[in-house]
Amino acid sequence: MKALQLIQTGRPLEEREVPVPVPERGEVVVKVVAAGICHSDAHYRAGTSPAFPLPITLGHEVSGVVSDTGDTVTHVRTGDRVCLHYLVGCGRCASCAAGNDRFCTTVQMIGKHRDGGYAECIRIPERSVVPLPESVPFVQGAVMMCSSSTALHAIRKSRLRAGESVAVFGVGGLGMSAVRLAALFEPSRIFAVDISPEKLRLAESAGAVPVLAGQSDPVERIRELNGGHGVDVAIEMIGLPETMQQAVRSVGQFGRAMIAGLTDQPVRIFAYNDLINKEAEVIGVSDHTIEEIEQLLQWYREGTFDFPDRLIETVPLEAGAVNSTLDALDRFAGTVRTVIKM
Ligand SMILES: [Zn+2]
Ligand SMILES: [Zn+2]
């Protein structure tokens, strides 16, 4: 079967012919229908966040149809529509038992530590497979596996309450999900910060107040638009020290700055002005839980949450198209979300 693999960091992904995986005990093989291309994949390709061992098939936003099942698999069958929780935990330790697979000492992420979904098929333990309701399209199912679920995790961890204000830094796949999900919590205002007027227009149509960054200080602009006050919650989805610092600076008294973007660089925080004087909090956001995925799928079924087609571009499973998308992500350009569609 065809797979797009990272052979060497800093080099384009390559198209390779690899054997169709065979499920072991407790595992299933899923024929991939949709696989989202995430900014993290650009980091893995560049080596700023390491994927290993190489070569590896990238892709952690995956939906498809079960094509094969190993022994002892009980909750899915061949032909089932499914989407994949991208973390593979041991299923036995205290972290896994509490639903916090991301802290399992042997946790592996698909498309980072084991082969992911930029391929015709993927092998994964049954435990990480979630049924995809008939009413949720495969492409949207895929986008919910990283973009929307991590955005929901950030919002839940932020303790956002009705009437509070929110600023989302970066309105790509995660940030646009955050804007749409934050709206469900009845905030007073949602500010969307980005350098792309196009993405800001899309965020505005989802109810956000657009704040164009790049030319002037977005933090000043947010304050101005928010009656002279900082916001209650800021969510950083870009992964740059500069925007992380802006997120921290943008919160007001008792504000919570949620850091979800990836960077390997330090962030400067002025303890008195940024934290102490406001009793502000800076909170890390890592991944999400299966419960959050199930919550999203339920909201989608009920019509409460949507990630409309106009936010998504699809490309074929071809190295050229996928590398171009990753190049655009490296430049913080491109569409809100690009998804490989089989
Ligand atoms: Zn991702
Ligand atoms: Zn575990």
Pair (7, 117) in one structural domain? yes
Pair (196, 237) in one structural domain? yes
Rounded to whole angstroms, how far apart are CA atoms 152 and 206?
16
Pair (238, 192) in one structural domain? yes
Do 243 and 170 contact (CB within 8 A), yes or no? yes
Q: Over 90: is that where the pLDDT of 314 sits? A: yes
Query: Does residue 200 sit within a domain?
Result: yes
Pair (128, 153) in one structural domain? no
Query: Does residue 140 sit within a domain?
Result: no
Distance between Cα 247 and ligand 1 center (Å): 20
Where is the domain boundary, 284, 299, 329?
Answer: 284
How many other CB atoms sit within 10 Å of the CB of residue 228? 8
Query: Does residue 141 sit within a domain?
Result: no
Distance between Cα 185 and ligand 1 center (Å): 23
Quote the DSSP letter at residue 303. Answer: T
Ligand number with the minimum distance to the CA of 144: 1
Q: Over 90: is that where the pLDDT of 333 sits? A: no
Query: Does residue 142 sit within a domain?
Result: no
- Which own/partner pairs from 74-80 qualify as long-range (CB within 8 Å, at least 24 positions apart)? 74/126, 75/126, 75/129, 75/131, 76/28, 76/126, 76/129, 76/131, 80/131
pLDDT for the residue 215: 85
Distance between Cα 94 and ligand 1 center (Å): 25
When the pLDDT of each residue in the chain is averaged and rounded to a whole number, the result is 96
Segment (H or E) for 138: helix 138-143
Query: Does residue 106 sit within a domain?
Result: yes
pLDDT for the residue 62: 98
Distance between Cα 85 and ligand 2 center (Å): 14
For 280, the domain range is 148-284
CATH number of the domain encompassing residue 124: 3.90.180.10
Total domain count for the chain? 2
Pair (206, 81) in one structural domain? no
Ligand number with the minimum distance to the CA of 38: 1
Ligand number with the minimum distance to the CA of 108: 2
Percent of the chain with pLDDT over 70: 100
pLDDT for the residue 332: 86
CATH number of the domain encompassing residue 225: 3.40.50.720
Ligand number with the minimum distance to the CA of 239: 1
Largest CA distance in the chain: 61
Ligand number with the minimum distance to the CA of 93: 2
Query: Does residue 277 sit within a domain?
Result: yes
Distance between Cα 38 and ligand 1 center (Å): 5
- On the CB side of 237, how many CA atoms lie within 13 Å of its CA? 34
pLDDT for the residue 132: 97
pLDDT for the residue 95: 97
CA 144, distance to chain mean position in Å, is 8
Pair (15, 91) in one structural domain? yes
pLDDT average, residue stretch 4-15 = 98
User: pLDDT tens across 58-112, in order?
Assistant: 999 999 999 999 999 999 999 999 999 999 999 999 999 999 999 999 999 999 9
Q: Select from 183, 178, 158 the least CA-distant residue to 168.
A: 178
Q: Over 90: is that where the pLDDT of 20 sits? A: yes
Pair (86, 165) in one structural domain? no
Query: Does residue 101 sit within a domain?
Result: yes
Task: Name the band, by pLDDT with cuts 50, 70 and 90, for residue 327.
Answer: very high
Pair (160, 222) in one structural domain? yes
Pair (315, 208) in one structural domain? no
Query: Does residue 60 sit within a domain?
Result: yes
Q: Over 90: is that where the pLDDT of 10 sits? A: yes
Sign of CA dihedral 15, 119, 298, 87: negative
Angstrom CA distances, 61 to 35, 105, 109, 142, 271, stand at 5, 22, 11, 5, 37
